[in-house]
Amino acid sequence: MSLPTIDPTTTKAWEALTSHYEKIKEAHLKDLFAQHPDRANTLSIAWNDFYVDYSKNRIDETTKKLLIDLAKEVQLEKAITQYFGGDVINETEGRAVLHTALRVPSNQNVEVDGKNVITEVNAVKENIKAFSNQIISGALKGYTGKAFTDIVNIGIGGSDLGPAMITESLAFYKNHLNVHFISNVDGDHVHQNLKGLNPETTLFVVVSKTFSTQETLSNATTARNWFTAHAPKDAVEKHFVAVSSNIPNVTDFGIAEENIFPLWDWVGGRFSLWSAVGLSISLSVGYENFEALLEGAYEMDEHFKNTPFEENIPVVLGMLSIWYNNFFEAESEAIIPYSQYLHRLPAYLQQGIMESNGKSVDRNGDSITYQTGTIIWGEPGTNAQHAFFQLIHQGTKLIPAEFIGFKKSLFEDQEHQDKLMANFFAQTEALMNGKTETEVLEELKTKNLSDTAIKKLTPFKIFEGNKPTTTVLIDKLTPKSLGALVAIYEQRIFVQGIVWNIFSYDQWGVELGKQLATKILSEINNSQVSNHDASTQELLNQYLNT
Ligand code: F6P
> Which residue type does 403 have?
F
Residue 1 predicted with pLDDT over 90:
no
pLDDT in tens, 202-218: 999 999 999 999 999 99
Dist. CA 133 → ligand 1 center (Å): 28
Radius of gyration over alpha carbons of the chain, in Å?
Answer: 25
* Ligand 1 atom at minimum distance from 161 CA: 8
Residue 206 CA to residue 125 CA, distance in Å, equals 18
Q: Phi then psi for 415, rounded to 5 degrees?
A: -60, -45
First to last CA, the chain: 56
Helix (H, G, I), strand (E, B) or coil at 204: strand
Lining ligand 1 with CB less than 6 A are 156-159, 208-210, 213, 216, 269-270, 355, 507, 510
pLDDT in tens, 85-117: 999 999 999 999 999 999 999 999 999 888 999
Provide the 10 A C-beta neighbour count for residue 24: 17
Dist. CA 507 → ligand 1 center (Å): 9
pLDDT in tens, 354-388: 999 999 999 999 999 999 999 999 999 999 999 99
Dist. CA 439 → ligand 1 center (Å): 52
Q: Phi then psi for 172, rounded to 5 degrees?
A: -60, -30
* For residues 245-258, average pLDDT: 94
* Ligand 1 atom at minimum distance from 213 CA: 16
* For residues 55-64, average pLDDT: 98
Residue whose Cα lies nearest atom 4 of ligand 1: it is 269
Q: Pick left, alpha or beta for residue 57 (phi over 0 → left; psi -120 to 50 → alpha; otherwise beta).
A: beta
Dist. CA 160 → ligand 1 center (Å): 9
Work out whether the CA dihedral 249, 250, 256, 262 comes out positive or negative. Answer: negative
Q: Which residue among 153, 216, 507, 515 is best mutated to probe the pocket of ligand 1, counting the most ligand atoms within 8 A of its Cβ?
A: 507
* Ligand 1 atom at minimum distance from 270 CA: 8
pLDDT of residue 545: 87
Q: Average model confidence (pLDDT) for the chain?
A: 97
Residue whose Cα lies nearest atom 13 of ligand 1: it is 208
pLDDT of residue 113: 86
